[in-house]
Amino acid sequence: MNPLLARLQPYPFERLRQLFAGVTPDPAHGPISLGIGEPKHPTPEFLKRALAQAMDTPGTDLSAYPPTIGTPALREAFAGWLQRRYGLALDPSTQVLPVNGSREALFAFAQTVVDPRTEPVVVCPNPFYQIYEGAALLAGAQPYYAPSDPARNFAVDWDSVPDTVWARTQLLYVCSPGNPTGAVMPLDEWRKLFALSDRHGFVIASDECYSEIYFRDEPPLGGLEAAAKLGRTDFARLVAFTSLSKRSNVPGMRSGFVAGDAKLLKAFALYRTYHGSAMAPPVQAASIAAWSDEAHVVENRAQYRRKFAEVEPVIASVLDVRLPDASFYLWAGVPGGDDQAFSRALLAQYNVTVLPGSFLARESGGRNPGAGRVRMALVAQTAECLEAAHRIVDFVKNKPRPQ
């Protein structure tokens, strides 16, 4: 067996299962889960039709192996979206590549980039999406966890990473908008990271799968957009990861793309050829339809905005929480500061599942930066999320606070 497998941590939902073992929720309340960050708004009809039609159309049906690098039309669709969304002109033949959702790509990218012979480090935010850690470990690297700072809207404290760590860093994961905090990285932070990448030669993987769900007027700054603003038009050592899962409510379709540094994408395409991760032809066709339409994305974002406008103030009446910059999570501080005890008791008394923040982070420097917070995914319909919010209010008000 590959001994590195033993270094993988249990996934947060496995830890949740263990935490909830032996809890019998009060049967007076039906179950509501805010635990899993899976989009639940309905898949747009035109996308279902595009997928079905492609199955019956020669050239996009299932009768041939698809090219790993995607069809020219698909690559044009990625480039077209990048142009409309960020004002960027990428070369569809060298600077974009389809992936089967951003998760597998974020994992596979570390296997492409990391040279395990030199005690490499992979830096990631903390709290973070656990795939970064597993990708680093299975690539033979040591993860380093850079804590987010609640005092600065959960911005990651990159300055706290020692120079000795940056010197060994081969890959940096950034997540903007962030999961679970919803924080968007401003241009100044990008400037800092690009300078560090220039000095130490590491690659930046920019996870942007929540980029289309935002609550401010201006859309979140993208990594490639930041690079272009700073004159880095070759996107040196930078690859952005994006996805249809949240944007278009098709998490089951497994469709996304990566874009950026042409040299890195050439190596990534080679890796993917051997890994066998080409996108199915009908999915390629439906993806073209999805990236080419913005109306359904505007409507999806409006739904999240209406939902958050109703639900967030209710929860904010009892918990330390505010509207995130973006994403579909609330990242709430809990009274008493014990996120696991809070989650367990909330399930027992009100049958509402939330995810303890400490499960999404690692202890570093003597503290777990997710402790004392819970993540709530507002993915269900508004009425269900509101019902959960009111139960949380009742729960907190009835519960004596630990001294």
Ligand X SMILES: Cc1ncc(COP(=O)(O)O)c(C=O)c1O
Residues that bind ligand X (CB under 6 A): 37, 101-103, 129, 175, 179, 207, 209, 243, 245, 251, 256
> Residues with Cβ < 8 Å from 261, sequence gap 6 or more?
95, 203, 234, 235, 236, 237, 238, 239
Q: Token pair of 307, please?
A: 């939902």
Q: At its nearest, how many Å lie between ligand X and the CB of residue 210?
A: 7
Instruction: Give whichever of 139 and 326 is closer to ligand X, judged by the CB atom.
Output: 326
- Residue 62, judged by CB atoms within 10 A of its CB (0-12, 13-18, 19+), counts as exposed
Q: At its nearest, how many Å lie between ligand X and the CB of residue 78?
A: 14
**Residue 202 host element (H or E):** none
Instruction: Give whichever of 232 and 246 is closer to ligand X, judged by the CB atom.
Output: 246
Per the DSSP assignment, residues forming a β-bridge with 240 are: 206, 259
**CA gap 127, 158 in Å, rounded:** 13
Q: How far is CA 244 from CA 57, 248, 254, 346, 387, in A?
A: 22, 5, 8, 33, 28
DSSP strands (E only) in 70-164 = 96-99, 121-126, 142-149, 155-156
Q: At its nearest, how many Å lie between ligand X and the CB of residue 110?
A: 13
- Residue 364, judged by CB atoms within 10 A of its CB (0-12, 13-18, 19+), counts as middle
Instruction: Give whichever of 245 and 351 is closer to ligand X, judged by the CB atom.
Output: 245
Q: At its nearest, how many Å lie between ligand X and the CB of residue 102?
A: 3
Q: At its nearest, how many Å lie between ligand X and the CB of residue 13?
A: 11
Instruction: Give whichever of 286 and 396 is closer to ligand X, judged by the CB atom.
Output: 286
Q: At its nearest, how many Å lie between ligand X and the CB of residue 70?
A: 16
**Residue 72 host element (H or E):** helix 72-86
Instruction: Give whichever of 120 and 251 is closer to ligand X, judged by the CB atom.
Output: 251
**CA gap 150, 369 in Å, rounded:** 9
Instruction: Give whichever of 76 and 104 is closer to ligand X, judged by the CB atom.
Output: 104
Q: At its nearest, how many Å lie between ligand X and the CB of residue 184?
A: 13
Instruction: Give whichever of 215 and 395 is closer to ligand X, judged by the CB atom.
Output: 215
